[in-house]
Structure 1
Amino acid sequence: MSTASVLFDAPGPRARVRNRIVTVVTLVVAAAVVWVLYSRLQARGQLDAAKWEPFLTANLWKTYILPGVQGTLTAAAVSIVLAMVLGFALGVGRMSAHRAIRVPSAIFVEFFRAVPVLIMMIFAYFLFAMYDVFPSKHLALAGVITGLTLYNGAVIAEIVRAGVNALPRGQAEAASALGLRWGQTMRAILLPQAITSMLPVLISQLVVVLKDTAIGYQITFLEMVRQGTQVGAAYGNYIPALIVIAILMIAVNFSLGHFATWLEGRLRRSRRGPAPMHADEPVNQGAFGAGAGGTI
């Protein structure tokens, strides 16, 4: 059986012709849509060279873009750290043998997974403002971090639980037979293996955290997308401004994804066992039966 037909039947001559026709039609429609959009933007002057010139000045980057980048990265970094800590705590708590820990953890996870992130941001923002928990200049940042931490912490908890449950049950049973407690088994055996296997999913969720910082625009948080619209309003170049912001977001997300790939490979290499011995390799007899004259 060929590799091309493992998951589905190999297309016949008619199917291949039909697929080519559909592909060509799709490309033609996509090209037409791009051309229409380009024509309309060009007619409105959004793609003129003058609209891009402000991005060549240091004042625009210092006033608008860099503060937005700083706000986005600050909120994302703090939220990622807190969500990881909260998620691992809740994920392990949901698997606890103690009902007093397992049930509250499950309720917390299910509740905050169901509440939209924006609602949590708005609620936290006005709650902090009502009780003067944070200074006024940090209220929006605190609201964004709180909403992102609670929601993504609940999601990461489910990722952790799924990663641990995907491991062979024999490992936990063997650890119990050796006399290890549940906490020792989780900390020394199960979690290290689960982290390596679920790392791609975790990084995908962290990218979601980075992108969801844009929702903080609703509570006046200073982030990249909000600053892009400010640039568009100030210079009348909304499309170029949003294109630049999109490029910056893509660059940051790509860097995070590349780092995740590198980290996953490094973790897998560090946990790889010694290379198996080949049959034609000489045996070091000095390591065996040293008391018997070096013979086996």
Structure 2
Amino acid sequence: MVGAVSGQVYIVSHEEDVDGIGSAAIALRNTGSRRLYLVGYDLSAWADLGRLLRKGCRSNGSIEILISDLNPGKRHIEILAESLVGCPSKKISWVDHHVWRDEVLSFAERLGYIDLYIDRSRTATENMARFFNVESDPALKPLLELSRDTDYGLFRHPLSEPLTDTIRYSLYAEGDKAFLKRLALKFSKGVFWDYEVDSKWALAIERKRKAIEDIRNNSREVVIGGYKALVIISDPVVGSRIAVRESGRRGYDLAFVVYKNGAVIIARGSENINCAEIAWKLGGGGHPHVAGAQIDPGVVSRGFEAVVEYLRSRI
């Protein structure tokens, strides 16, 4: 497929991992646009994005949006739709690889201006490369490798874990989205490591060491929904697969990495479990092998037992 996208497109991508930054980088490289907005799933951030898009349409009389690596709930799409009411010409191309809930998929399709490009067998970065028909571009080969290595939790590439650490530290410890935008621009030029990234990583490693000590003291195996579940409470600077690895636990059916900001990542230890379906019960979504949701941070602040009780009440 070849996406017909102009240089004035608004690029929106997932803010917290290599795949989100990587798919944004391919969009930057192939459109020349510098209108990049990185978001997670917080509804207030989507409301801010909606106001920005509304303003853009009012200024130009039309708007074109390219979204990648984001698995929305119905409310996320409602916010976009509400922001574009009255916009005479609008187009959204949505490139993704998550499992979408049927109600969300049908709602997006009914709007009539969202074109979906979803291939669950590939990463968002790989799908974006296909969208622009640049899969054979040799400059993108390392980025495609990194996206798959990180998104599938393999961490075999020497830059996979350092980049994951750096991205999460920048976002969750510093709130430095400007750095993440610069990182996407670096990726778009085939630059994956330089002095700025190295300096940020040095700070990330120091915070990560302390977080790993806490992980080893805040992980426990319990029964949730009939599953043997590993529950970990963690600082969000540590990626979920890294948190599970550093817990030292094995033999679980499901792992719940519960972050202090209320984010929950669900990973399976058994192939016959669909994490996306479990995440739906918590209001989230994702992939069969890994999925996520958001719970009230107040539950997490009340401690391990409160978290387990909450998960048991929903699953």
Range of TM-score over shorter length: under 0.3
Q: TM-score normalised to the size of structure 2?
A: 0.22
Between Structure 1 and Structure 2, the one with more strand by share is: 2
Q: TM-score normalised to the size of structure 1?
A: 0.23
Between Structure 1 and Structure 2, the one with more helix by share is: 1
Larger Rg: 1
Q: Relative contact order: is structure 1 or structure 2 higher (C-alpha 8 Å, sep ≥ 6)?
A: 1
